[in-house]
Amino acid sequence: MMRVSSLALLVLLGACSSAAKPRFDLTNVTGHLPNLKFQLTADNGKTMTAKDFRGKVVMMYFGYTHCPDVCPLTMTRMHVVMQQLGKLADGIRFLFVSVDPARDTVPVLHQYVTAFDKHDVGLTGTPDQIRALAKRYRAAFDRGKVQKDGGYEVNHSAAIYIFDSKGHARVLATPATSNKDLEHDLRLLLKGA
Amino acid sequence: MRMITRLALLALVAWATSGLAHAGVSAPLQVHDAWIRVLPGALPNAGYAILTNPGNQEVKLVAARSNAYARVMLHESSESGGISRMHAVDHLSVPAHGSVRLAPGGYHLMLMHAVHPVKIGSRVTITLRFADGRTQDASFLARPANASGVND
Ligand SMILES: [Cu+2]
């Protein structure tokens, strides 16, 4: 008898907690990563901080503009998801943080992000500012060998960090994430989950 | 006289066309869905395509060049341990009766330093060079930065 009721209680608790907690499709990082916090130069030339994005669901990605394959692939996928969301996408901002501030000047960054989606914001800063932000989210990056023509590649974290409208880190997307799962979780966050 | 000239011309055309057809047969690969992701300004672009080898022997792509870009490289993107990387590859093998897909996130042609700005919607010829010394021209469609493929 005792056993049955504790089982029932467990089931009840399970039901309760699943009703209270949003059921994300992506990796839930709530409570495991710090809140959104930065001060960087945006692609409009202005200094922007995390506070400027309060009230928006924020996706943050570390990349560089001389990356013609993986970064555009990620940004194009985000663009497709934004289009799926229609008007709701206005509640979202995608922050493209440059891990190559030497080449990613404000004009280069501006041209780059505007080629993808109107909800994209490019961010750059001093090498120290970028390093500090990447470190805060344990996002690794390192510059490869410089080639004969002076060019180089930058190996960088593939993750997309997603924050709710209060700036709390909530879920983590990777290149393997499906657009469907991403859209699902963005909708939950837009509803205030 | 005029009749003879016309006949001769027809023969010439027939001969030329058969010659072209022959050249087509000897092309090592069939190239489908070839497109370029054009990034703004002087940023490098990426070329994608499906390469199909209808022959009985493996075809080894070792290099590519184009009049539209100062430099074309064979590249591969990969991801491990949560880190995205891109590196040069010295060749790409297309197996007999098989295909290799150059697609975002994997193999691509790295197109560096456009000679002139590449116009969206235009076509760019890229010459593929194989290990046996043969070459083949392929036509790539220039697509905008946020394109997902050759059609969308
Ligand atoms: Cu590349």
In tens, the pLDDT along B56-87 reads 999 999 999 999 999 999 999 988 888 888 88
Q: Which domains does chain A have, with CATH numbers?
A: 24-190 (3.40.30.10)
- When scoring B86, B102, B143, B148 by the number of chain A Cβ atoms within 10 A, the one with the most, hence best to mutate, is B86
For residue B86, list chain A residues with Cβ-Cβ distance below 8 A: 67, 69-70, 153
Does ipTM top 0.90? Answer: no
Integer CA distances (angstroms), A90 to A61, A82, A116, A120, in order = 18, 9, 15, 11
Q: Which of A35-39, A171-175, B142-146 has the lowest mean pLDDT?
A: A171-175
pLDDT value, residue B12: 47
User: Would you kindly state where each structural domain of chain B is located, as residue ranges?
Assistant: 25-143
Nearest CB to B86 within list A69, A80, A116:
A69
CA quadruple B43, A140, A73, B77: dihedral, nearest 10: 80
pLDDT at B82: 87
CA angle in degrees (0–180, nearest 5) for A101-A29-A23: 130
Q: Look over chain A and give the mean of its residue pLDDT values, rounded to a whole number.
A: 89
Distance, CA B107 to ligand 1 centroid (Å)?
Answer: 8
Query: Does position A83 have pLDDT exceeding 90, yes or no?
Result: yes
Confidence of residue A20 (pLDDT cuts 50, 70, 90): low
CA B116: distance to chain centroid? 19
HSE at residue B71, side-chain half, CA atoms within 13 A, is 14
Tokens of A28: 């839930």
CATH class of the domain whose range is B25-143: mainly beta
pLDDT of B85-121, one tens digit each? 888 999 999 999 999 999 999 999 999 999 999 999 9
Statement: residue A120 has pLDDT above 50:
yes
